[in-house]
Amino acid sequence: MESTVTNISLAPHEADDTQPALLFIPDISGFTRFMHENGVQYSRNLIADLLEIIIEANILNMEVCEIQGDAILFYKIGEAPAIDQIVSQCKQIFLDFQNYLRIMERNDILSSPKLSENKLTLKVVVHYGRISVTQIRDHIKLMGTDVILAHRLLKNSIEGSEYVLLTEGYLNTQDPEAVAHNFAWSQLKDGMNSYEHVGEIRYKYAFLTPLRLLVTDPEAEHTDKQYPNTFSLRDYIKAPAELVLRVIQNYRLKPKWMHRVKSARFDTKKVNRIGTNYFCEMEKGGSIEMQTLQSRVTPEKIEVIEKMANFKMFPNSLIFYHLYQEEGRTLLTLEFHYSRVSVGDYFYDNFGRKQIKGFMKASLLQLKHLCEQLHQNRQK
């Protein structure tokens, strides 16, 4: 009798407990060199932030199995996600990662080579096969030949450091025309490597480099045409810029002006990380983690950049505060940047954007009133 199984590696075997699953491994390229040139004290904090950004960018709701130095093993049991979802996930992680690095490049906190010279970037391995999920005390361990294969593929013959690699195990679950269509922004190439005890593994790969055109430049003017995932508000505040700055940076004052924030608390687990980390407890439950990435003073303006985490609708979104001192008042521009790649999705383009705009508008108005009240009290 002819077998109905077209992919023997995905067929359940008698008396085994394996399940079909997606394996998704983002790996930080340039990690070893960066650690060597900058030392553990600084590198561990920056790398920890980058790993958190990768986890936060998980829009496929995958499970995190383990973090192995510079790589994170995600998995998702069940049918293989469609190719457009995989591409969106890769774009999300890459853009969030690069947006963060672009901002941190402006910090003069490295005693050795500048961050931009270290060329930290990402590569991603995507595989679909069968895994066994094992509980070892409080930890989850994935086992099986497909897990070994996915890890082996991090070492390959691709000449480049930022790409997505898709194995035949995953590609065989997708329509070839859909795969080609979803990589129209790059170029899919064929690859093959041979591994001991595994044999020859064929795959396709595409460089992520074209996505750098979508990375937010913190130095550039953020127009809607250039950055469609951006919107901004501005208002005049009858108070000096230095007072407005102190209010924005004081996390204890956040509940007094951030819309529907009940309380704020300092994140004691990250006291040694870059910037200030704090949690905003929301009135309707839940919390949003905020991190102050940068505060810069130039002759033209004062700039503060914060990152929002634990915000599934817009993961790793950025808030830019631009303060311009004028005679007797401050012009404050508040910008919200997000790299969510599902542009065109009705929910995010309408409901999501409407909600965040309402939040920003109410917060800006309350910030204005608070700063003006504090300034009046100082003058009495």
Confidence of residue 10 (pLDDT cuts 50, 70, 90): low
User: What is the mean pLDDT of the segment spanning 245-256?
Assistant: 94
User: What is the mean pLDDT of the segment spanning 283-299?
Assistant: 89
How many Cα atoms sit within 13 Å of 17 on the Cβ side? 5
Q: For the domain bounded by 16-213, which CATH number is listed?
A: 3.30.70.1230
CB atoms within 10 A of CB 308: 21
The per-residue pLDDT for range 94-147, each reduced to its tens digit, is 999 999 998 888 876 554 455 666 689 999 999 999 999 988 888 888 999 999
At residue 73, does pLDDT exceed 90? yes
pLDDT for 343 equals 43
User: What is the mean pLDDT of the segment spanning 134-162?
Assistant: 92
The alpha carbon dihedral of 193, 199, 204, 208 has a sign of: negative
What are 261's strand-pairing partners? 282
**Cα radius of gyration rounded to whole Å, the chain:** 23
pLDDT for 271 equals 61
pLDDT for 340 equals 59
What are 317's strand-pairing partners? 308
Residues in Cβ contact with 138 at an 8 Å cutoff, skipping those fewer than 6 apart: none
Do 65 and 73 contact (CB within 8 A), yes or no?
Answer: yes
H or E stretch including 364? helix 353-379
At residue 342, does pLDDT exceed 80? no
Confidence of residue 45 (pLDDT cuts 50, 70, 90): confident
The residue with greater pLDDT, 347 or 279, is 279
Average pLDDT over the chain, rounded to an integer: 87
At residue 348, does pLDDT exceed 70? no
Q: What is the Cα–Cα distance from 273 to 279, expressed in whole angstroms?
A: 15
Q: How many residues does the chain have?
A: 380
pLDDT for 41 equals 72
pLDDT for 198 equals 86
Q: What is the pTM of this model?
A: 0.85
The per-residue pLDDT for range 169-195, each reduced to its tens digit, is 999 999 999 999 999 999 999 999 999
**If you classify domain 219-379 with CATH, what class do you get?**
alpha beta
Listed by start position, the domains of the chain span 16-213, 219-379
Closest CA to 339 of 74, 108, 53, 82: 53
pLDDT for 4 equals 38
CA 137, 310, 276: angle at the middle one, nearest 5?
Answer: 100
User: What is the mean pLDDT of the segment spanning 154-160?
Assistant: 95
One-letter amino acid at 138 equals D
CB atoms within 10 A of CB 143: 13
CA 298 to chain centre: 28
219-379 has the same fold as 16-213? no
Confidence of residue 231 (pLDDT cuts 50, 70, 90): confident
Would you state the structure tokens that stand for residue 257, as one six-digit string? Answer: 């002006």
pLDDT for 208 equals 97
Q: What is the Cα–Cα distance from 264 to 297, expressed in whole angstroms?
A: 26
pLDDT for 139 equals 82
Q: What is the Cα–Cα distance from 283 to 336, expressed in whole angstroms?
A: 21
The residue with greater pLDDT, 104 or 89, is 89
For residue 337, CA distances in Å to 217, 275, 282 come to 11, 19, 21
Q: What is the Cα–Cα distance from 171 to 195, expressed in whole angstroms?
A: 20
What are 230's strand-pairing partners? 337
SS3 107: coil
pLDDT for 20 equals 97
Parallel, antiparallel or unpaired: strands 71-77 and 121-136: unpaired
pLDDT for 148 equals 94
Instruction: Put residue 193 in one of left, alpha, beta given phi > 0 → left and psi -120 to 50 → alpha.
Output: beta
10 Å CB burial of residue 228 (0-12, 13-18, 19+) is exposed
